[in-house]
Structure 1
């Protein structure tokens, strides 16, 4: 039986959980598609979030039936070009981009001596954390470049738990997407979903917004299970 007391680590996704920087990613991907003459669609808008850069480039090129026109090296350069556009967009990030309630929750975790790790698929996560002045909360950040598999594979959450020297089942993983929650669930961590009902259906603990995130709120839902 799951008990709240067994958890001593919290593993955070970034986009949609700590900051709404996913909008900048989509804007940069949209710009790349426009430059390539590939029509943007609601499908691309929904599927690109959470993908790593090479996978996203392939997805956009496939949408425009252009994949066979680009070598692997050319696709890599397209990804780098998108990243430069993204870096320009997030250069304006600041503490005002932190989602509601997150600072209070991080302060609560610190006061209660929980271990905290950032488990984001974005290689730019350390820069975003710095822009939002959250470095003191996240001394530990998984480097996605060291991983073999991206979400929904559980590797990133298993690595995050290892950084805390904890087994995954002693950790709580917080996500806002189906893909991310699949990764958390597969890792063995307790899944906490934040966001729209359909998107977080697979989470064990569910909140509509980051403003609701508290240890007491997590405990209450675990006890109900």
Structure 2
């Protein structure tokens, strides 16, 4: 049986919660196009790439637009989102994250960020966590979004470890599926009713210890 060597983390909903900023920017875009989206609808966009999110929103609004216009709208939404996240600070780091990462370092585990967001490096810089990761895989380094496992398999490859030596931390259904498809042990952060595919589920990193994760990962595979 392989020993766990690396922890791979999603960004949104795991390290910080930028979902509210995405929602505000997408809602503004929908409103400008003549319809609205609710917070409940926004749940469908979690863990999904920007262009895929736009397609879901346009379908919701009953709109079909040419590719050029869609690229224009996606860029506009991203600009509004960047204006919001550029105000983020270390105060936006979710509870329990700093303590958990302290345990990760003491356990000599490698770390990677696996986020489909092209803005991940900016967010990490704003919250002062760029140095917390040995490898950063963001939307600029992948060609397929979650639930494709590319973001995590690429992270493992850059860390120099095998997929079965990795634990993935995710809050979205698409992300949990990506981790599982990549052959990794997956910790779901959120509701057990939603993240049914995860190997271990907790409300957040605040409710976990590294020892608990390692014990579970190494005894259930």
TM-score bracket, shorter-length normalisation: over 0.9
Aligned mates of 2:118, 2:5 — CA distance in 1: 26
Say whether the 8 Å CA contact 1:44–1:60 is kept in structure 2. no
SS of residue matched to 1:141: strand
Residues 89-146 of structure 1 deviation map (CA, whole Å, 9 limit, x = unaligned): 1111111111111111111111221110100010000000011000110242113223
- Given the two structures, how large is their TM-score scaled by the length of structure 1? 0.92
More deviation, 179-188/194-203: 194-203
Aligned mates of 2:215, 2:7 — CA distance in 1: 17
Which residue does the alignment assign to 1:64? 61
Say whether the 8 Å CA contact 2:4–2:214 is kept in structure 1. no
Aligned mates of 2:150, 2:67 — CA distance in 1: 25
Which residue does the alignment assign to 2:167? 172
* Map 1:114-129 → 2, pairs under 5 A: 114-129=109-124
- Given the two structures, how large is their TM-score scaled by the length of structure 2? 0.94
Which residue does the alignment assign to 1:23? 20
1:196 and 2:191 equivalent?
A: yes
Which residue does the alignment assign to 2:182? 187
What is the CA RMSD across the aligned residues, in angstroms?
A: 1.6
**Number of aligned residues:** 220
* Map 1:10-49 → 2, pairs under 5 A: 10-41=7-38, 44-49=41-46
